[in-house]
Structure 1
Amino acid sequence: MKLLITGAGGQLGRDLVRVLESEHTCYALTREELDVTDGDALSGRIRSIAPDAVIYAAAYTQVDQAETDLEMAFRVNAVGAGHAAMGAEAIGAAMVYVSTDYVFDGKKGTPYLETDPVSPLGAYGRSKLAGEQLTRELSSRHFIIRTSWLYGRDGSNFVTKILAAAGQRPELTVVDDQFGSPTYTVDLASCIGRMLQTQAYGTYHVANRGFCSRYAFAEAILAAAGRHDVILNPASSEAFVLPAQRPENSALADRGLRRAGIPRMRDWKSALEHFIDSDYLLKG
């Protein structure tokens, strides 16, 4: 297939290219090469490349900053996605929109299904939800992929931050009342590749199986890295005052993948251990 990947310089974008380029022709466009908020430029690239699928991995992900930078968050996460969906539809291409668990308020208490009602708590979640809605309205061949707690070799993420902090301090404090599904970007990219081989369009929850608290995630990170010397202390979210409210439990259930017969992701601990044992060593 011929794939156009936006946001190719980001954490997920880089792994999409690494994973997919062996089997497909990838036109990987970074933020510097393509401003997704420029509708004419985005539509023009889609027409000139004429891909079989557009993977919209460009994203405004600064959750706290989005509260005051609302316009840019919506321009990148929603308006740009709408232009991409229209461009893809015009040439008969599939559209992949990467969304987030933050479209939920985290109050359900059990992992979210694709059919559960959405209710984002902050600007970031609202902007991603708007991107979902525009994708559904403007593309008849769409995959909306909700994922969560991403980490990978490139960029800054919870795993790399914990390991960096462990190298600087003997004691760390992490919240133990936020729950989610940690997701390795290599696994997510591989799953997106498998989905593109189908025509099972729709909305999917794609995350490594299972869920945990931020504290348990940090425990597993330190254990996998052999950092048993670091003391880890639990804390309530109330101890960390942030501009944007986070969902308390935004764990994702992958019923959509199972119903479509698309292979499920491996469990989050196995993915984490693989990342730290191999991919993390290549960072930098």
Structure 2
Amino acid sequence: MRILITGCNGQVGHCLTERLKNKANVLALDYEGLDITNQQAVIKTVTDFKPNYIINAAAHTAVDRAEQEVELSNAINCAGPQYLAVAAQEINAVMLHISTDYVFDGESKQPYVETDITAPQGVYGQTKLAGELAVAQCCDKHLILRTAWVFGEHGNNFVKTMLRLAQTRDHLSIVNDQFGGPTHAGDIAEALITMVESVEQGLQPEWGIYHFTGMPYVSWYEFAAKIFELAVKKGVLENQPQLGSIPTSDYPTPAKRPANSRLDCGKIGRQFGIEPSDWMAALENIQSYK
């Protein structure tokens, strides 16, 4: 089994590389190893390595910067996945691609299912949706995994930001009207590995889009409260900062955030037996997030 991983230094890419290196012949590349926006480089890498599976963990995820960096966002989030998908199709490889809750408008009162209408509200979501469509159009054997609120021991994320801010602030105001499922990067990696192994073992899956996030759903305020509770319990922080809850309107950002980032994970469970990420269990290891 030969697996090409792009974006290997990102949160999920790092976990994938660590967990697959003893299971398969892995070529794990970061931007310096493979610029996915360079089609000739993509073709050469894929042609030379001949992977059975391509897992694209590369993305432009700076949501606010994307509002100004439109061309770069489109290149990384749409053109790059398209080039990988075309190359995968050429050698009959399976393409696995990570996407996001930002493809939705966030206005639904229910958790989103894979067939719900997409309506991205900003450049990040628009380019990620374009990437999904390109992958689906260019590669027959594709598995697109939409996720949300990613955190992990490696890279930058909400958990690390909260722990850092708590070192210097006694009071923090956290948004309380955006809801989602925090998702551990390691669990995303495990979900993707399970999908690969299922196909490798002969499962003929329904190609297309799957949702995978953590449970239970919480607000950012509730997520922060749990982070600080565990941080004090585990000795990472001496004291919890005082938390104040604020509406999104009190914390304006260049890119609009979805009020509802809850994704329904039923389909991936039925098809692959994959359970939602247990984010509270992942946080028990909070001393590793410093």
TM-score between the two structures when normalised by the length of structure 2: 0.93
Aligned equivalent of 1:99: 99
Match of 1:218 in 2: 224
User: SS at 1:87's partner residue?
Assistant: helix
CA distance in 1 between partners of 2:240 and 2:135 (Å) = 47
3-state DSSP of counterpart to 1:198: helix
Matching residue of 2:269:
258
Give the match for residue 209 of structure 2: 203
Alpha-carbon displacement from aligned partner over 1:18-62 (angstroms, at most 9, x marks no partner): 122121121000111111110110111011000010111110011
For 1:49, the aligned partner's letter is: F
1:3 deviates by: 0.6
The amino acid across from 2:149 in the alignment is W
Alpha carbons 2:143, 2:208 under 8 Å: kept? yes
**Quick one: distance in 2 between partners of 1:224 and 1:42?**
43
Matched to 2:118, the amino acid is V
Whether the 8 Å CA contact 1:101–1:252 is kept in 2: the answer is yes
Partners of 2:8 and 2:14 within 8 A in 1: yes
| Cα-Cα RMSD | 1.2
How far apart, CA to CA, are the structure 1 residues paired with 2:20 and 2:230?
27
- Structure 2 contact 132–144 (Cα < 8 Å) conserved: yes
Deviation at residue 109 of structure 1 after TM alignment? 1.2
Matched, 1:116 2:126: no
Identity of counterpart residues, as a percentage? Answer: 38
SS at match of 2:215: coil
Counterpart in the other structure of 2:85: 85
> Tell me, which stretches of 5 or more residues in structure 1 are unaligned?
none
Counterparts of 1:169-208 in structure 2, within 5 Å, are 169-199=169-199, 200=205, 201-208=207-214
Shift of 1:209: 2.4
Query: Whole-Å Cα distance in 1 between the matches of residues 103 and 42 of structure 2?
Result: 25
Q: TM-score, normalised by structure 1?
A: 0.95
The size of the alignment, in residue pairs, is 279
> Residue 286 of structure 2 aligns with which residue?
276
**Which position in structure 2 is the counterpart of 1:42?**
42
The CA distance in 2 between the partners of 1:82 and 1:153, in whole Å, is: 30
Cα distance in 1 for partners of 2:267, 2:71 equals 32
Note if contact 1:81-1:135 (Cα within 8 Å) is conserved in structure 2. Answer: yes
Farther off after superposition, 174-183 or 202-211: 202-211
* Corresponding residue of 2:240: 229
1:157 aligned partner? 157
CA–CA distance in 1 between the matches of 2:74 and 2:270? 32
- The alpha carbon displacement at 1:93 in A equals 0.5
